Structure 1
Amino acid sequence: MSVEKNHTDYLYVYGIIPKEELSKSVLPLIIGIDQQPSTAMKFNDIVAIATPVNPQKFSQQNIDSLSKNIDWLQENAIHHHSCIEELNRNFTILPMSFCTIFQNEQKLSNLLKERYDELFGKLQTLKGKEEWNLKVFCKLETAKHFVLENNPSIIELKDSLASMPKGKQFLMKKKIDLKIGEEIVKEFGKWQAEIQKYLTSFIEDSSLRSNWGKDVTGRADDMIINCDFFVEKKMEDEFISAIHECEKLFSKRGCTFQVTGPWPPYHFSKMGSDD
C-alpha cells in the first residue's frame, strides 16, 4: 500500500543523531505524537528525527491552549520522552524540547544548515556519554543528632551549657536549637560538596537541580540533593559503585541515595538560550 505524504504537514522533531551511526544500528520506527511514523531528514553528517503533525492541531496557538490541560500535557510529555529514550538506546542523541515543531521541511533544513557546526560539535561531546540523576534524601532527626555530636560550634555551646545557672540554661537551649537549624543547612551544603568530590573521578560534568518537596516525592524524609551527572559509558560501573560506597558513608547521617539512569542527555545538551 502506498501512502502519499501531505506536504502541508508540520514536522515535530524529537532529536538529532549522527549520520555515521545509522550504518551501525537500525533506526527504530517511532509513531509520533500525531500517530504518524518517523522520518529521517539528513544534512551532511547529522540526521533530524521527526514525525509529521497536523498544522491545525499543532499550531502554536492550539498548543498554548492545550498546554493548560494538565492531562494532555502529561500524556504527551511522557510520549515525547519515550520516543527520545527509544532513540537514545542505540544512538547518540541531541534531544529536542517538547513540542519543537517546524512549519515545513525547508525551515527544518535551514536550521540544520545554519547551525550545522554547532549541532555536529555538540553531538561529538555527547558521544559515548550518558546522564544519571542522584537524589539524596535525609531523615532530619538523624541529621540533627549527627550535627549535635560532630559540629564544633554546637559542641562548644553544649559544653558551656553545663556550667550555666539553670535560669540561663533555658535561654541557651533555645539558642542551641536555632544554631542547630542553621548548622544543618550549612552541613547539607558541605555534604553536597563532599559527594561531588567523591564522584569527581567518575564524571565529566554535573548539574544541580532544585529539590522536590514531600508533596511531590510522597516520602517522609526530605530531599536535600537533586543532581544530574554526565558520565562516560565505560565508567558506568565505577560510577554506580562509587554512589553505593558514598551512600554507606552518609547513612549514619540519615541519608538515603536514589540513583536513576541512564537518561538521554537532557541537562548536558543545551547550546544557547534559543534552544
Structure 2
Amino acid sequence: MTPPALTYVYAVTQPTSDLDAALPTLHGIGHALLRLLPSDAAGVPLAFVVADVPEADFNETALKAHFEDLDWLEYVARTHHGVVQAVATCAPVLPLRMATVYQDDHRARQALTAQHRAFGERLDQLRAHTEYGVKIYLTPSTTSPDTERATAGTTQPTSPGKAYLRARRAQQHTRESVYQQAQLAAQAIDAIAVHHTTQRVRHAPQRGALAATQENVLNDAYLVPDEQAEEFQAAIADTARRFPELRIEVTGPWAPYSFATPPPGTPDPAAPSSHPGAPTANREPP
C-alpha cells in the first residue's frame, strides 16, 4: 500500500513552453517529480508548482516537531529554494512559504482558483523583475579589540590606567567614524534605488553565525527590473569603492522571495487563512 501523501506547493507560476520542457528534469523534497496544477478560473492561466510529500512528515503534528530539527529544516529550505529558482529561470514565479501543504490536489486547486485574481495581480507586479540583496558590514579591523591594542601602542609611555582610557577613547572615535561612513553609504544606496528599483524591503541585520566575524548594519532587499539589473549592480560596486572602510555586498539574482507578500495594509494571497486545509507554514528567505 502506498503511504498517504499530501500536496506540497512551491510557487505560483504562469506556464510556459520552457517550463514544460524543464519540469520533467526537476525534483522536489524526497526527489519527488514536480508537476503543474492549473487553476480552474477563467482569465490568465495560472498554476501551482507542486509535488507529493509523505503525510507522516508534513502533517501539522509532524511539522511542529520538524521545525525543531535544524538539519531537516535546512534540507527542506534548500530544496524549496532550489525548485523556486529553477522555475524562475523558465517562467514568472511567485514563491510561496516553505511547507505550504494541502490534503490533496483538489484542495490545492480550490485554493488557487479562489485566489486566482490576487495571485495574478501580484505575479504581474513581479514579472520581469528580480530580487537583489544589499548588505553593509563593518570590517573587524575597525570594530575589534585589535584596534584598541594598535592605538594603545602609539601613545607615549604612561600608567596602565591612562593608557587603557586613551585606547578606549580612540577605539570609540574609530567606531563612530565607521558608523558615520555606513550611514553615508546607506544614503548613497538609497539614491541608487530611486533610479534602478521598484520596491525595497528592510530585513533585520544578520547576527551571530550569519554575519560571521563582521558586524552587519544594513540588510535590504530590492526588486530590480531586469533591464536595470546591470546598472544597479555597477552603481552599488562604484559605491563600495568609495567606502573602503566597509564591506558592501550584493547578493542575487534571486526569485522575488522578499516581495511575494504585498506591502503592509494590502491582502496577502499567500496567507495561511487563504489556504483552506493548509497547516501554518513559515516563509524562508533565500
Residue equivalent to 1:159: none
Q: Is the 8 A contact 1:199 1:242 kept in 2?
A: no
Q: 1:10 to 1:214 in 2, by over 3 A?
A: closer
Paired residue type of 2:6: Y
Matches of 1:256 and 1:182, distance apart in 2: 16
Q: CA deviation at 1:176?
A: 8.7
Paired residue type of 2:14: P
Matches of 1:123 and 1:243, distance apart in 2: 27
Paired residue type of 1:39: R
Q: 2:236 aligns with which of 227, 233, 243?
A: 243
Matches of 2:105 and 2:19, distance apart in 1: 26
SS in structure 1 of the partner of residue 209 of structure 2: helix
Matches of 1:24 and 1:182, distance apart in 2: 51
Q: 2:222 aligns with which of 203, 224, 229?
A: 229
Q: 1:187 to 1:46 in 2, by over 3 A?
A: same
Paired residue type of 1:233: D
Q: 1:274 aligns with which of 262, 271, 285?
A: 271
Paired residue type of 2:113: K
Matches of 1:54 and 1:197, distance apart in 2: 48
Paired residue type of 2:46: I
Residue equivalent to 2:200: 206
Q: CA deviation at 1:183?
A: 6.9
Paired residue type of 1:26: A
Q: Is the 8 A contact 2:37 2:48 kept in 1?
A: yes
Gaps of 5+ in 2: 144-164, 263-267, 273-286
Q: 1:179 to 1:240 in 2, by over 3 A?
A: closer
**Greater Cα offset, 29-38 or 75-84:** 29-38
**Greater Cα offset, 85-94 or 185-194:** 185-194
Q: Does 1:194 align with 2:188?
A: yes
Q: CA deviation at 1:175?
A: 8.1
TM-score (normalised: structure 2) = 0.74
Paired residue type of 1:212: Q
Matches of 1:95 and 1:56, distance apart in 2: 24
Q: Is the 8 A contact 2:136 2:182 kept in 1?
A: no
Q: CA deviation at 1:188?
A: 3.5
Q: Aligned pairs, how many? A: 242
Gaps of 5+ in 1: 1-5, 144-170
* Equivalent residue runs for 1:163-178 within 5 Å: none
Residue by residue over 1:18-75, the C-alpha shift from the partner in whole angstroms, topping out at 9 and shown as x without a partner, is 13x3477624232221332111111141011100122222211111112211111111
Paired residue type of 2:216: M
Matches of 2:71 and 2:187, distance apart in 1: 38
SS in structure 2 of the partner of residue 212 of structure 1: coil
Q: Is the 8 A contact 1:38 1:51 kept in 2?
A: yes
**Greater Cα offset, 51-60 or 171-180:** 171-180
Q: 1:35 to 1:174 in 2, by over 3 A?
A: closer
Paired residue type of 1:82: G
Percentage of pairs with the same residue = 17
Q: Does 1:17 align with 2:8?
A: no
SS in structure 1 of the partner of residue 99 of structure 2: coil
Q: Is the 8 A contact 2:131 2:223 kept in 1?
A: yes
Q: 1:214 to 1:199 in 2, by over 3 A?
A: same
Q: Is the 8 A contact 2:8 2:52 kept in 1?
A: yes
Q: CA deviation at 1:87?
A: 0.7
Residue equivalent to 1:265: 256
* Equivalent residue runs for 1:22-171 within 5 Å: 22=17, 26-29=21-24, 30-43=26-39, 44=41, 45-139=45-139, 142=142
Matches of 2:192 and 2:171, distance apart in 1: 31
Q: Is the 8 A contact 2:18 2:90 kept in 1?
A: no
Q: CA deviation at 1:103?
A: 0.5
Residue equivalent to 1:163: none
Q: Is the 8 A contact 1:39 1:49 kept in 2?
A: yes
RMSD of Structure 2 on Structure 1 (CA): 3.0
Q: 1:257 to 1:196 in 2, by over 3 A?
A: same
Q: 1:197 to 1:140 in 2, by over 3 A?
A: farther
